[in-house]
Structure 1
Amino acid sequence: MLMIAGIYLLIRCIARCKRMIFPAIRVRFPASATPFTLDLPQPGRYVISVLIPPMTFISGVAHFSARFSVTRTSDGTSLEYRSYGRSLFRVQRTDMSGKQALPLGEFQCVAPGELQVTCLNPETIRANYELEVAPHVPVLTLLACVLATIASSFMAIGGLVMSLIVLFGAG
């Protein structure tokens, strides 16, 4: 019973972690002074991250001082963008291609629709880096998912070992 519950929970945890690493809503665009228009299908908290290519030595942290303007294209209202700065407690992602996503700041989208994102000082971001808008992932949610994955794998493996001991006898 422990093994079956562990396998079920492990599958659920892996699926949840996959949704955090590969979010359904993820828009990538180059860091330039020209505004980029994107369509967000659902309201929520979104993060603007810089994507660093794989095998790139990260020297300097000028990209943390990048400033953004986020406006709704339908009525021209500006959304509040909050910069993170160099904070230790932010969720950094690395996708399967090796690109590392470092969060720069966040904004709250109250209604679905088209938004226009403008980098106000694109010279702070290297030319070969990209920007990405994705849903916000809280640190505690990520930590809980990792701990649940570890616990469920112990349940599955422990249940398998206990089943084998009971099946073949303890000697």
Structure 2
Amino acid sequence: MWLYLAVPVGLYYLLHWYQERQVVSHLQDKFVFITGCDSGFGNLLARQLHLRGLRVLAACLTEQGAQQLKGQMSDSLETVILDVTKTESIAAATKWVKERVGARGLWGLVNKAGISMPTAPNEWLTKENFMKILDVNLLGVIEVTLSLLPLVRKARGHVVNISSAGPGVSLLWELLHVQVQC
């Protein structure tokens, strides 16, 4: 009877031990492209992956965000200006990434660029408010992914899409943002 319990528990620990031993080798040869690196989680992720040895290609919306991130890191972190709502900007960024990665391909694509809803009741919002959110958070992610997917496939890489945490978070963030600005 106890064998029915011991075997699954033993298999669980064996699997856990095996997963812990998995290590990715040659990180310094792998490229990761991250959108939304001006501030917040995208910025932090770019810095953390850079510190772990990956070659980070960070996409920022503003020149100021790109210069600030580039100034804090070494040459293995490169920045590009990218507006995910503009096809021309995505095409230029895709060309820039292809020049950097060459035949190696893109080991990781992280779609982090995103905006949250304006903090207001839905009755006060317009169609344009919702369209802007869809342009950035949905259509931008799709277009960036489709344009870089051949490079991700070449390296047998991974695509990670990160979005908003959920309703109510933007209100808290706005309150904190106002506190910091004052």
TM-score, with normalisation over the residues of structure 1? 0.26
Greater RCO (Cα-Cα under 8 Å, separation 6 or more): 1
Greater strand percent: which structure?
Answer: 1
Q: Structure 2-normalised TM-score?
A: 0.25
Give 1 or 2: higher helix fraction.
2
